[in-house]
């Protein structure tokens, strides 16, 4: 079985995804051997490596809208917390791991790219009152990665077109319009994910599911599971009268808060909250 790759220009900060490269080979999908039905190919899930490269391209696009925060100590601190909760998730080791970065903006928001690249804005960090609340924000975003919400936002029609293109004779599909079409489809898939993450936001069902996973991660990591309820309540208060940023893409609702409280009630009380709050104040101030 041969493989078909398309070239995508991607440049992301070195600490985030291992450096800026002029061209990264991005495997869009494995090409079916001659005689294998298109139905069989269509049933193949996207691999972790494919998800990572799609997420990397989405991250690069986000970084055309926002700059990275220049404080390396803050970035290191956020990565430390993020990886603590991520290791307690049901998907602790995605392809090339989790990477967390701070966006240099006072807007309150966070973005989970497919494959484990997660952004949190400086504004959202400042909205948190302690480390446990910041851990809750990151755990929620990890929940989106666990559930592959970014990849699932790619329109099914994109994949239908890919399977159709791949079903043609090999001599045709390795050149000309078919190869160019696959590149175009890949770019359109990036558009789908970017639009969902940055513009439209995930569905209420996806947000609630990420809340549940996030609370479970917090509990296993020793953080206060009620911290997610607290930061959601803060977001609800701050979001009244505005529909921009996180208030547009992560709208907390009374029902969502109730479900989060119910899930948090199953966890034992956390220890060391005050000590972590002091560390948060030192690192964030």
20-60 pLDDT, tens digit per residue, is: 333 333 344 443 343 344 444 444 578 898 899 999 999 99
- The pLDDT assigned to 56 comes to 94
Of residues 97 and 285, more confidently modeled? 97
pLDDT tens for each residue of 93-145: 999 999 999 999 999 999 999 999 999 999 999 999 999 999 999 999 999 99
Q: Give residues with Cβ within 8 angstroms of 164, minimum separation 6.
A: 38
CA 103: distance to chain centroid?
A: 14
Query: Tokens at residue 201, please?
Result: 């936001």
- The pLDDT assigned to 157 comes to 62
Confidence of residue 173 (pLDDT cuts 50, 70, 90): very low
Confidence of residue 204 (pLDDT cuts 50, 70, 90): confident
- The pLDDT assigned to 77 comes to 98
Mean pLDDT of the chain: 80
pLDDT tens for each residue of 143-165: 999 999 999 988 766 656 655 55
Q: Name which of 66, 11, 46 is nearest 192 in CA terms.
A: 46
- The pLDDT assigned to 124 comes to 96
Query: Tokens at residue 203, please?
Result: 């569905």
Average pLDDT score over residue span 234-260: 70
- The pLDDT assigned to 186 comes to 72
Instruction: Name the percent of the chain lying above pLDDT 70.
Output: 69
């Amino acid at each position: 079985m041969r493989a078909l790759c398309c070239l995508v220009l991607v440049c992301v900060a070195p600490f985030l995804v291992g450096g800026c490269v002029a061209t990264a080979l991005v495997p869009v999908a494995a090409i079916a051997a001659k005689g294998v039905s298109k139905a069989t190919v269509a049933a193949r899930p996207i691999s972790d490596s494919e998800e990572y490269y799609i997420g990397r391209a989405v991250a690069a696009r986000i970084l055309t809208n926002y700059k990275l925060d220049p404080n390396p100590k803050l970035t290191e601190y956020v990565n430390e917390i993020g990886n603590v909760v991520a290791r307690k998730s049901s998907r602790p080791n995605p392809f090339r791991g989790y990477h967390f970065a701070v966006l240099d903006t006072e807007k309150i928001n966070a973005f989970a790219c497919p494959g484990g690249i997660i952004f949190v804005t400086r504004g959202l960090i400042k909205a948190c009152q302690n480390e446990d609340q910041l851990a809750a924000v990151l755990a929620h975003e990890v929940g989106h990665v666990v559930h592959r919400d970014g990849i699932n936002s790619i329109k099914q029609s994109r994949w239908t077109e890919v399977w159709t293109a791949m079903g043609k004779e090999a001599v045709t599909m390795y050149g000309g319009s078919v190869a160019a079409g696959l590149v175009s489809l890949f770019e359109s898939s990036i558009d789908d994910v970017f639009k969902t993450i940055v513009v439209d936001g995930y569905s209420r069902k996806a947000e609630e599911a990420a809340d549940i996973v996030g609370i479970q991660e917090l509990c296993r990591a020793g953080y206060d599971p009620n911290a997610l309820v607290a930061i959601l309540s803060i977001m609800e208060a701050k979001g009244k009268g505005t529909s921009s940023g996180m208030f547009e893409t992560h709208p907390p609702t009374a029902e969502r808060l109730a479900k989060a409280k119910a899930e948090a009630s199953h966890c034992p009380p956390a220890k060391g909250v005050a000590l972590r709050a002091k560390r948060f104040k030192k690192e964030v101030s």
